Amino acid sequence: MTISKTKSSFYRRLYVAWLIDSATANSVPELMAATGMPRRTAQDTLAALADLDIDCRFAQESGERHNAGRYRIHDWGAVDPRWIERHLPKIKETLGYP
């Protein structure tokens, strides 16, 4: 099945936001482990969440150095996270994620 770059990018952003919000994976290494995506792709996807008006912020853990912390979704904007939850199997299958 061939999917457009636009659709795969959109699904990837939704899935990453869902992983963060569900506390399944909320750091770059955890996102890499959960999806198999390279570090740069994970970082670019996090940065691109703002394009969907998803407010995702990094929170530094107190007393930690070297960007140790977690990402959190503060506002989903126009995106309905319940839609993502309902369509999670299709999103993962489309992206080829486990």
Sign of CA dihedral 39, 42, 48, 49: negative
Which contiguous run of DSSP H or E holds residue 57? strand 55-60
Helix axes 28-35, 5-21, angle to 10 degrees: 120
Q: pLDDT value at position 64?
A: 57
Contact 47, 31 (CB under 8 A): no
pTM equals 0.90
Q: How many CA atoms lie within 13 A of 20 on its CB side?
A: 29
pLDDT tens string for the chain (98 positions)? 688 999 999 999 999 999 999 999 999 999 999 999 999 999 999 999 999 999 999 988 766 566 678 999 999 999 999 999 999 999 999 999 88
